[in-house]
């Protein structure tokens, strides 16, 4: 009696997962460049942390200075969300442009995952210890990886969709 019920629940769960996955793929394929740009968080920018933001990796701020300039958790959350959007932009470029460097797209995927882990770690630490040294160091690492990801995204766009670069730069 229990075994058939478990089988039905398992099949229903798998069917629900597949339906949600299919809806996600359809939504992703229906996205436009403009809709992706609109999802970037314009209320905070890493421009304050780097002299060459979007063109070159690296920060020109100390961990303490970066924490102040990013306005603490507000900037971290913006980094988290923008990393996810830039990942979707890289996928968009890979789907819609010929000859996109797959290694660069995979690097952007890796960057986004590392940024998200680093930001979540910093936010959890912040929840327990406020702005301790560990929080500032993790925030600095996330911001550094973020500027690198933004520079690689700019490179991808310059090489394969140069007409999109001005809109991307303005949105960032």
Q: Are 133 and 51 part of one and the same domain? A: yes
Q: Are 3 and 53 part of one and the same domain? A: no
Q: Are 61 and 40 part of one and the same domain? A: yes
Count the domains in the chain: 2
Identify the pLDDT of residue 115. 92
Q: Are 88 and 162 part of one and the same domain? A: yes
Q: Are 38 and 21 part of one and the same domain? A: no
Taking alpha carbons only, the member of 126, 158, 166 closest to residue 142 is 126
Range of the domain at 97: 34-171
Residue 59 contacts residue 132 (beta carbons within 8 Å): no
Is this model's pTM higher than 0.85 or not? no
pLDDT 10s digits, 109-143: 899 999 999 999 888 888 888 767 878 888 888 88
Q: Are 107 and 49 part of one and the same domain? A: yes
pLDDT 10s digits, 48-69: 666 666 666 666 677 788 888 8
pLDDT 10s digits, 72-89: 888 889 889 988 888 888
CB-CB neighbours of 13 under 10 Å: 10
């Amino acid at each position: 009696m229990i075994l058939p019920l478990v089988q039905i629940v398992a099949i229903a769960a798998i069917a629900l997962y597949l339906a949600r996955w299919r809806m996600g793929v359809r939504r992703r394929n229906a996205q436009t460049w403009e809709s992706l740009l609109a999802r970037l968080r314009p209320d905070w920018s890493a421009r304050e942390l780097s002299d060459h933001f979007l063109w070159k990796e690296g920060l020109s701020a100390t961990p303490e200075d970066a924490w102040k300039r990013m306005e603490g958790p507000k900037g971290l959350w913006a980094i988290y969300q923008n990393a996810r959007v830039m990942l979707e932009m890289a996928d968009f470029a890979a789907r819609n442009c010929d000859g996109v460097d797959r290694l660069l797209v995979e690097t952007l995927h890796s960057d986004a995952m590392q940024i998200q882990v680093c930001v979540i770690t910093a936010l959890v630490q912040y929840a327990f210890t406020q702005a301790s040294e560990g929080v500032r160091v993790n925030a600095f690492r996330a911001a550094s990886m973020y500027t690198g990801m933004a520079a690689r995204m700019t490179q991808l766009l310059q090489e394969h969709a140069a007409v999109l670069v001005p809109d991307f730069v303005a949105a960032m």
